[in-house]
Chain A
Amino acid sequence: MTALGAVVAAGLALGVVAYRVQVDELGRYTSPENAMAIVAVAWAFLLAGLVAWRRRPGNRLGPLMTLAAFALLLRQLRYSHDPWTFTSFFVLSEVSYALVAHSVLAYPGGRVTDRLERAFLAVGYTATLAFPLAILLVYDGSRQLRFFDPVARESAIVLVADGDFAIALQKAFVVLVWGVLASIFIGLLVRRLVRATPLGRRLLAPLLLAAVAVALRAVFEGVFTFVERPSIVLYTYLFWWQIVGFIALPLTLLLGLLRARLARAGVGDLVLELENAPPRRVREALARALHDPTLEVAFWLSAEGRFVDADGGPVTLPEDGARRAVTRLDHDGVPVAALLHDPALAQEPRLVEAAGAAARLALENARLHAETRAQLATVKESRARIVAAADDERRRIERDLHDGAQQRLVALALQLRSAQRELHPDGDVERLLDESVRELQAAVEELRELARGVHPAILTEEGLASALESLAHRTPLEVDLDVAEERLPPPVEATAYFVVCEALANVVKHAHATKASVRARRLNGLLRIEVADDGVGGAHAEPGSGLSGLSDRVEALGGRLIVVSGTGAGTRVVGEIPCAS
């Protein structure tokens, strides 16, 4: 506290000194308003610097702006008529502008991380120190340094007196620093605005506008080097433009700080808003409170050690970077959620944490919700996977039966028939062989039936319509078929086929029907299968029955199976299976 008081006192005292030096030493070349305006600029930097320093002790922006404030005040001491005072402060005078540029580029994080911006500052610091020093080494006061001072003074460290060279150095300095470097500075700021995220742009825009105003004025100054004498009106106009821009600079920074304060008040409303909010609203409320519409919430599933969204879908946390930043929210050391937000918010870590703390209960609630949904999704997926795996296995068994045992039996039947050909007719052996061949043919037919029941090859090869046609053909009953010609995902085709297969088998076995109908149509992402008969009815899917097993299978694909069967009114088995086109 006392240190702060000392800095404030020093700043105020130095302001008075700077004012007096300018007014006393420049006399008719200046005015009290001009002198006061320059002190006001420095004090604005001092105020903003000290506030920033107190609010963000870890942020170097506060010290940087305070330093700039003192540099701007000390700069005025170069008007002293004393050669050594003039020499000392003339050397340091232009560094104050480098410090101002540094402050702007360090906003809001306090560090300049961009390589181009760092290089720019390095050049800026070097040029603002080297040129005045070089000028002092040759400046003997015989000529007037128009752009630095309306009065000619004496350098205390002249090595080789050369007035013309001093003027040339002054021109080079004005063109390079005020002209070229200020233009590059504007370019860097525009580049920053273009690259910023929407939220970052909102935070940066006012500050950068003020900085651009100041830098533009410097660029004009560079251009005027080549004009013999700019009009006094234009000069006065430019001076006040610079002053307004300069005062606005630190004030816009203060505004940025105040914005965060206002936002923190918004966090208070969060608690009330979220009290009865459904899980889905938590994200919206947080996005509103933090003014970041791009904000996303990821919930931590402790059992699985991963983050998911509100619907239980997997979320990969991005690396902190230029486009996205992550704030993890813990409770008692256990992760609850992570907020994925605009990196501009990372400048306000306490604000984000406060919002997270306010929303903690709602987040925990939403986390449980997401966890349940994720588990449900896992169960659904595994159920569908089990069905698909069983289908694959059945296809494999059918192929094995077909390519293995069946082929051997077929070859054996042909060999027996060949043996038969070699024998004399009407012998016992021939009759025996004849029976063997018939027996083998029966075995082949049984194997064929078995393989077909496991998985009909025609379903894989030609699809549902063809397979149902073949099934209807084998059914000892009149079957009216109406099946759309299209290929569907294999699990859907297999499930639909087995539903019809089981339903038709039941019709044949129990219904005493004269005919049956089979319909399969896809509509609005659902495959609807219907098997109806005109039999005695009274059927239902008892647990453990073939139909109930199929019902599980249909449900595993997210569908449902209904059996409608009144006594004497026939039976209708209806299956609906989700099936995207």
Chain B
Amino acid sequence: MDRTVLVVDDHAAFRAAARRLLELDGLRVVGEAADGATAIELVPALAPDIVLLDVGLPDVSGFDVADRLAGGTAAVVFISSRAPGDLGRRMRSSGALGFIPKDELTGEGVLRLWNASA
């Protein structure tokens, strides 16, 4: 069964490009959210396997969204156009599956993190 993904990022162009690429790589993008509040609303409704979560959201920090989702069924993969070293300590202390720089995003990369945790 195809893994389902929710893409959370405030840049529409990135969301569109990510949706296309992930679907070509065999994942099913079930929804998109442009900010943290929408993401927190959509996760219970859509019940995705994976939440692709941008660290720098316009309303709340991606880390805060991850804290809210912790304990649920959806696994979090952080994305950012910044380098992991520039993201500080909350990245390391979060319960996320891992981190992928936005420009290196591929379906395989996401699935690799998913499988490593399973």
Contacts and interface: CB of A to CB of B under 8 A. Distances in A.
A440 B20 contact: no
Contacts of B94: none
A418 B27 CA distance: 13
Contacts of A458: 86-88
A386 B31 CA distance: 46
B104 A411 contact: no
A402 B56 CA distance: 10
B118 interface: no
Contacts of A315: none
A411 B17 CA distance: 6
A474 interface: yes
Nearest to A463: B88
Contacts of B25: 421
A456 interface: yes
A473 interface: yes
A470 B24 CA distance: 35
A411 B11 contact: yes
B82 interface: yes
Interface in B13-35: 13-14, 16-18, 20-21, 24-25
A466 to B, nearest CB: 5
A421 B106 CA distance: 11
B4 to A, nearest CB: 19
Contact of B17 (A414, A444, A445, A474): A414
Interface in A429-476: 440-441, 444-445, 448, 452, 456-458, 461-462, 466-467, 469-470, 473-474
Contacts of A467: 88
Nearest to A441: B103
Nearest to A444: B103
Nearest to A447: B81
Interface residues of B, number: 26
A411 B85 CA distance: 22
A408 interface: yes
Nearest to B18: A414
Given A458-B86, A473-B85, A414 B105 contact: yes
Which of B83, B86, B106 has most chain A Cβ within 10 Å?
Answer: B86
Given A415-B20, A417-B21, A441-B103, A448 B14 contact: no
B11 A413 contact: no
A539 to B, nearest CB: 27
B24 A418 contact: yes
A407 B81 contact: yes
Contacts of A441: 103-104
Given A410-B14, A415-B20, A421-B21, A448 B88 contact: no
B112 interface: no
Contacts of B103: 409-410, 413-414, 440-441, 444
A457 B20 contact: no
B102 A410 contact: yes
Contacts of B20: 414-415, 418
B32 to A, nearest CB: 14
A437 B79 CA distance: 18
Contact of B86 (A415, A421, A457): A457
A469 B25 CA distance: 36
A466 B21 contact: no
Contacts of A408: 13
A418 B11 CA distance: 18
A66 to B, nearest CB: 83
B24 A407 contact: no
Given A410-B102, A414-B14, A421-B21, A462 B88 contact: yes
Which of A403, A408, A413, A418 has most chain B Cβ within 10 Å?
Answer: A418
A414 to B, nearest CB: 4
Interface string B92-116: 0000000000111110000000000
A470 B85 contact: yes
B86 A418 contact: no
A422 interface: yes
Nearest to B106: A417
A59 interface: no
A452 B20 CA distance: 30
Which of A415, A440, A445, A474 has most chain B Cβ within 10 Å?
Answer: A415
A470 B86 contact: yes
Nearest to A449: B83
A49 to B, nearest CB: 81
A466 B89 contact: yes
Contacts of B17: 410-412, 414-415, 418
B74 to A, nearest CB: 22
A452 B86 contact: yes
A413 B20 CA distance: 12
Contacts of B16: 411
A461 B88 contact: yes
A402 to B, nearest CB: 6
Contact of B14 (A411, A421, A422, A444): A411
A330 B56 CA distance: 62
A249 B21 CA distance: 103
Nearest to A456: B86
Nearest to A452: B86
A485 to B, nearest CB: 10
A517 interface: no
Interface in A243-269: none
B109 to A, nearest CB: 11
B88 to A, nearest CB: 4
A448 B87 contact: no
Contacts of A462: 88-90
13 contacts: A408-B13, A410-B14, A410-B17, A411-B16, A414-B103, A415-B17, A421-B21, A440-B103, A448-B82, A452-B83, A458-B86, A461-B88, A473-B85
Interface of A: 402-403, 406-415, 417-418, 421-422, 440-441, 444-445, 448, 452, 456-458, 461-462, 466-467, 469-470, 473-474
Given A414-B102, A415-B21, 9 more contacts: A411-B11, A411-B16, A414-B14, A414-B105, A421-B24, A457-B56, A462-B88, A466-B88, A466-B89
Interface of B: 11, 13-14, 16-18, 20-21, 24-25, 56, 61, 81-83, 85-90, 102-106
A-B interface, 5 closest residue pairs, ranked by CB to CB distance from nearest:
A414-B17, A421-B24, A411-B13, A462-B88, A410-B102
